[in-house]
Amino acid sequence: MDTNLVRQVLGQKVQFIHGDMACVYGALLAGCNFFAGYPITPATEVAEGMSELLPKLGGRYIQMEDEIASMGAIIGASWTGAKAMTSTSGPGFSLMQENIGYAVMSEAPCVIVNVQRSGPSTGQPTLPAQGDMMQARWGTHGDHEIIMLYPYSVQEALEMTITAFNLAEKYRTPVLLFIDAELGHMQEKVVIPEDDEFEVCYRQTVTVSKEEYQAFRPGNNAHPDRLVPEFAPFGSGYRTYVTGLTHNEAGLPRTNSPEIHDRMIRRLCEKILANRADMTFFKESYADDCDIALVAYGITARACEDAVAEARERGIKVGMLRLITIWPFPEDLIQQWARKVRLMVVPEMNLGQMIHPIREAVAGQCRVVPLNKIGGEVHTPGEILEGMVRAIEREREREPAAA
Amino acid sequence: MIKDAETLRNKYLRDAMFPTIFCDGCGIGNVLQYTLWAIDNLGLDMDRTVFVSGIGCSSRLPGYIKADGLHTTHGRALAFATGVKVANPDLTVIVFTGDGDCAGIGGNHFIHAIRRNIDITVIAVNNFTYGMTGGQVAPTTPIGSITTTTPYGSAEPPFDMSEMAKVIGAPYVARWPVTYPYQPIKSIEAGVQKRGFAFVELFAPCPTAYGRRNKLRNIEQAWQWYRDHVILLDDYERIQRFGSAEEKRSLVGKLKIGVFQDVEKRSFTDALEEQIASLRVDKPEPERQAA
Ligand SMILES: Cc1ncc(C[n+]2csc(CCOP(=O)(O)OP(=O)(O)O)c2C)c(N)n1
Ligand code: SF4
């Protein structure tokens, strides 16, 4: 899609829009030309924005009968070569899980936006929560890796949606883009980037002849070491057979061979894990001058920024690590931080989800303290500061002998 | 012009996929053969035809055909097919589905694909059971049948997929047992040519999972069962209107076959493309190219 045309349709370079719309803008700039979805608060505005803007750019929008169908439709579209996206929130995200696994298995690039709301079940439909962090990782059955990005501002939502598409295309895998309900409906300034300010990636198209073509053979003649296969869209004459069954490199079902299954699943995981450097995004502050760390993500990190400023004024040496890439989990980064601080405080809008991989990475090198809040309200900076101070005090009480 | 099985196989099927997973006497093979005949008669460009399916024995069919194929998740073939067709309306999309896949787990997609009138052809293999999982009761199982999950006979009334498709408004609906060799081919041809949703339901025996428990294991018995239990739509209607009381009683438990509907209706894909053409800010591409 011609980005100048996209900019023309989006309008002024600087605008006030909400987080949901920022995902729409990002998707269009990334070349998204297919959207299928189903209405759900607080993600409906993504679908509404797409339904308005996509046709103007020659793209196709369809409202499906449910989220299972939406997920199926974007995979079908992806196999014709489209850059496809859907959006949803908790209940719909649950429904999408089986087909997300199909996208992993069939290596269909696509982007799923989840505007997180409170659950389980219908929960608090309009209110924010961060309860889907583990569902994102393990929601679909079977061994797999997943990429998930979690921007914290409207501008970042726009930029990270572009990145989500790029990663989906490069690694031929579904990419999850999470924002908080709070951000979805929050209006902020965005600056629409110029072409030289962002990259647009496309899946590697087929370079071999039809005779030589093996739909799921990783790499190509020039780059045999690549872990991602080349792509021939439906209708191109390459006649690809795609199945969610374990398949050989030709794409044909081979369900009884332990070796083929093992090799295939390990490759699907490895194509992501071996490229962590390309997909790990984060922001740090006072990283080299702190003995306490706040580790946060999404909207919670905004409250943390204020808490850090206030704490530093009070002489507390706190630094902050904001995770933008949630999965694959940036273990090395957490380990680096664990080596330099004595206390890690992890505020989350759930009863403790990301604290688990954090603790696993920290492996006892420092104390890790959760700061959980549920009920539909974002932590205030005061609550974070207070929680942090309490954790520091408890820490002192625990370690008088060591001091 | 109808070609022999050998010629069709060489022309359309993937060698590496043989032998098939199908049991002896399974009707799915007939469905494949009729489909290939229809395709050959139409001269369909197999580079531009995509076969989509869900999960089940019948949904394995795309794997055998040398064409683009999307073997998806159980019940969701129509959702995936919708994505394929909407994203690239120039492709011909043919869906293979089972009765469980289509009317059970996929029932909602079935209803809505018809309501939209998306331009695809659905070939539904109705074997009255969940074959792949070993013969459980399906939404289409005739009342009283013994299945692994209705060991005392099914008490549920079955679902009539073709009647349903007709009522929701599919522009082309036809149903035949595979024991009729000619009509299924003509109906698949008509379905593929129809601009809009075409539904071709084919009764096909499953001797292994269904037949075995219902005195239809022997293929001769199975074929005879169809002969005894189907009635042409015209005959059915004639008896309904003018038949004697005895003739009317004979209709009980009979399955109607024939062309249920054949009308012209604007397809969703055409409507959507027209709308997009009027809205897009640039000029439409002159001709979409094969990539
Ligand atoms: C979500 C889900 N539920 C259940 C199954 C198990 N399953 C596989 S095939 C099948 C039934 C298939 O029956 P039908 O669609 O009638 O096809 P047939 O095998 O009879 O051709 C079921 C229940 C599955 N694969 N996925
Ligand atoms: S189980 Fe039934 S439907 Fe499946 S291949 Fe065997 S005969 Fe055919």
Assess contact for B56 and A51: CB atoms under 8 A.
no
B44-68 mean pLDDT: 98
CA–CA min distance B234, chain A (Å):
35
Residues of B in contact with A253 (CB under 8 A): 63, 71
The three-class DSSP label of residue A385 is helix
Distance, CA A241 to ligand 2 centroid (Å)? 22
Q: Which residue has the tokens 């929130």?
A: A89
Instruction: Please judge whether B72 and A81 are an interchain contact, meaning their C-beta atoms are less than 8 angstroms apart.
Output: no
Instruction: Please judge whether B69 and A240 are an interchain contact, meaning their C-beta atoms are less than 8 angstroms apart.
Output: yes
Same domain as A170, residue A27: yes
Residues of A in contact with B284 (CB under 8 A): 58
Q: What pLDDT sits at residue B1? A: 54
Instruction: Give me the amino acid identity at A401.
Output: A
Residues of A in contact with B66 (CB under 8 A): 239
CA–CA min distance B44, chain A (Å):
13
Buried b (16+ CB within 10 A) or exposed e, A176-212: bbbbbbbbbbbebebebbeeeebeebebbebeeeeee
The three-class DSSP label of residue B28 is helix
**Is A236 inside a domain boundary?**
no
The residue among B55, B71, B268 with the most chain A CBs within 10 A of its CB, best to mutate, is B71
Band of pLDDT at residue B285, cut at 50, 70 and 90 = low
Mutate to test the pocket of ligand 2, among B24, B132, B213 (most ligand atoms within 8 A of CB): B132
Mutual orientation of helices A331-340 and A355-362 as an angle, nearest 10°? 60
Helix (H) or strand (E) holding A170: helix A154-171
Buried b (16+ CB within 10 A) or exposed e, B52-81: bbbbbbbbbbbbbbebbbbbbbbbbbbbbb
| Angle formed at CA A86 by CA A83 and CA A91, multiple of 5 degrees | 160
Q: What pLDDT sits at residue B177? A: 97
* A76 and B CB contact within 8 Å: yes
Q: What pLDDT sits at residue B4? A: 83
| Closest to B197 measured CA to CA, from B216, B163, B226, B171 | B171
Which of A197, A228, A247 is where one domain is finished?
A197
Chain centroid, CA B55 distance in Å: 14
Mutate to test the pocket of ligand 2, among B30, B32, B57, B140 (most ligand atoms within 8 A of CB): B57
CA distance A238 to A235: 8
CA–CA min distance B235, chain A (Å):
37
Q: Which residue's alpha carbon is at the smallest distance from atom 24 of ligand 1?
A: B74
Backbone angles phi, psi at B16, to 5 degrees: -65, -10
pTM for the model stands at 0.97
Instruction: Please judge whether A235 and B90 are an interchain contact, meaning their C-beta atoms are less than 8 angstroms apart.
Output: yes
Which sign, positive or negative, has the C-alpha torsion B200, B203, B204, B210? Answer: positive
CA distance B61 to B94: 11
Q: What pLDDT sits at residue B157? A: 95
Same domain as A114, residue A10: yes
Ligand lying nearest the CA atom of residue A95: 1
CA distance B255 to B158: 11
Same domain as A18, residue A167: yes
What percentage of chain B reaches a pLDDT higher than 70?
96
Nearest CA in chain B to A244: B72
The β-bridge relationship of strands B121-126 and B129-130 is: unpaired
| Closest to B225 measured CA to CA, from B178, B259, B156 | B178
Assess contact for A113 and A179: CB atoms under 8 A.
yes
CA–CA min distance A293, chain B (Å):
44
Instruction: Please judge whether A72 and B72 are an interchain contact, meaning their C-beta atoms are less than 8 angstroms apart.
Output: yes
Fold of B7-217+257-277: Rossmann fold (3.40.50)
Same domain as A151, residue A9: yes
Which of A164, A197, A230 is where one domain is finished?
A197
**CB neighbour list of residue B272: distance below 8 Å, 6 or more residues apart:** A60, A62, B86, B89
Which of A197, A225, A260 is where one domain is finished?
A197
Helix (H) or strand (E) holding A187: strand A187-191
Instruction: Please judge whether B291 and A233 are an interchain contact, meaning their C-beta atoms are less than 8 angstroms apart.
Output: yes
CA distance A282 to A324: 5
Q: What is the pLDDT of residues B12-50, one digit of tens each?
A: 999 999 999 999 999 999 999 999 999 999 999 999 999
* A253 and B CB contact within 8 Å: yes
Which sign, positive or negative, has the C-alpha torsion A337, A343, A349, A350? Answer: positive
Same domain as A320, residue A192: no
B74 pocket-lining for ligand 1 (C-beta < 6 Å): yes
E-strand stretches of A222-263 = 241-243
DSSP class of residue A325 equals E
Buried b (16+ CB within 10 A) or exposed e, A385-402: bebbeebbeeeeeeeeee
CATH code of A301's domain: 3.40.50.920
The three-class DSSP label of residue A284 is strand
Helix (H) or strand (E) holding A190: strand A187-191
B204 pocket-lining for ligand 1 (C-beta < 6 Å): no
Count the domains in chain A: 2
CA distance A12 to B177: 61
The β-bridge relationship of strands A60-63 and A34-37 is: parallel
Same domain as A140, residue A19: yes
- For residue B130, pLDDT over 80 is answered with yes
Among the partner-chain residues B70, B82, B111, the one whose CB lies closest to the CB of A79 is: B70
Nearest CA in chain A to B115: A65
Q: What pLDDT sits at residue A220? A: 87
**CB neighbour list of residue A229: distance below 8 Å, 6 or more residues apart:** A107, A172, A214, A215, A216, A217, A218, A219, A249
Same domain as A305, residue A162: no
The pLDDT tens digits along chain A (403 residues) read: 789 999 999 999 999 999 999 999 999 999 999 999 999 999 999 999 999 999 999 999 999 999 999 999 999 999 999 999 999 999 999 999 999 999 999 999 999 999 999 999 999 999 999 999 999 999 999 999 999 999 999 999 999 999 999 999 999 999 999 999 999 999 999 999 999 999 999 999 999 999 999 999 999 888 989 999 999 999 999 999 999 999 999 999 999 999 999 999 999 999 999 999 999 999 999 999 999 999 999 999 999 999 999 999 999 999 999 999 999 999 999 999 999 999 999 999 999 999 999 999 999 999 999 999 999 999 999 999 999 999 999 988 887 654 4
Ligand lying nearest the CA atom of residue A245: 1
**Domain boundaries, position A62:** 3-197
**Is A214 inside a domain boundary?**
no
CATH code of A183's domain: 3.40.50.970
CA–CA min distance A175, chain B (Å):
18
Q: Which residue's alpha carbon is at the smallest distance from atom 2 of ligand 2?
A: B206
**Is A130 inside a domain boundary?**
yes
| Closest to A232 measured CA to CA, from B28, B47, B213, B20 | B47
**Is A181 inside a domain boundary?**
yes
| Closest to A216 measured CA to CA, from A244, A190, A174 | A244
**Is A237 inside a domain boundary?**
no
What residues are paired with B92 via a beta bridge?
B49
